[in-house]
Amino acid sequence: MAESGEPETTVDKREKEEKEANSTTEEISFRSLGVTEVLCEACAALNWTTPTAIQRESLPIALKGKDIIGLAETGSGKTAAFALPILQALLDTPTRLFALVLTPTRELAFQISEQFEALGSGIGVKCAVIVGGVDIITQAMALAKKPHIVIATPGRLVDHLENTKGFSLRTLRYLVMDEADRILNMDFETESAS
C-alpha cells in the first residue's frame, strides 16, 4: 500500500526502487569501497564521482587480493574495476612486470592502457602494449625496460615469450583476462594473433 492508503501502483513501486537505488549509490564512494587516497584523487580528476555497479561489486573483493570473475558490458566501468585493485597492490609492493592484462583486440589493449595510465599517472606507473601489427623490436625494447603492467593480445605475447631474450612472466602477481569468453574461444582478430 502507498503512504496515502491508496493501493501501490507500478509507478509508485518504480519510484521507490529508484529512490532506494540512488540513495545507496550516493553513500558509496571509491573511498568507502577501500580505494586508497591517491587513486581516489585520480578518479576524481577523471570526474568519476561514484563507482559504477561492477566497481561497487568487485572492488571490495579484488582489493583484498581475491580472484574475481565479473560480467559487465562495455561502458560499465569494468576496466577500472580491475585496474584500481592492481594499481593499489602495486603501490603496496612496487614490482616490475607486476600484472598482465590479456585482451582479444588491439583496440581494447590501447583503451585499457590509457585507463591504467590515467589512473596511475600520480604514482608513475609504466605500461607496455604488446599487440600484433606493431614493430616487434620496438616492443622488445619496451619489455626490456620492465614495465609494471603489460597489456597484450595473446598471439603477440606468445611470440615475445618464445623469442624475446630475458622476457618472462615469472614476477607476475596479477592476471586479467578481459573478455575472457572471447580469449578462451580463441576468437580474437586475425591480426592480433600475428
Interaction site with ligand AMP (CB under 6 A):
48, 51-52, 55, 74-80
Of the pair 76, 95, the CB lying nearest ligand AMP is at 76
Of the pair 59, 143, the CB lying nearest ligand AMP is at 59
Of the pair 118, 140, the CB lying nearest ligand AMP is at 118
CB of residue 55 to ligand AMP, shortest distance in Å: 6
CB of residue 102 to ligand AMP, shortest distance in Å: 15
Residue 136 CA to residue 164 CA, distance in Å, equals: 9
Residue-wise DSSP of 56-70: HHHHHHHTTT-----
CB of residue 73 to ligand AMP, shortest distance in Å: 7
Question: From residue 120, how far is each of 34, 113, 128, 149, 161 by CA, in Å?
Answer: 17, 10, 13, 11, 26
Handedness of CA 109, 110, 115, 119 (dihedral sign): positive
CB of residue 133 to ligand AMP, shortest distance in Å: 21
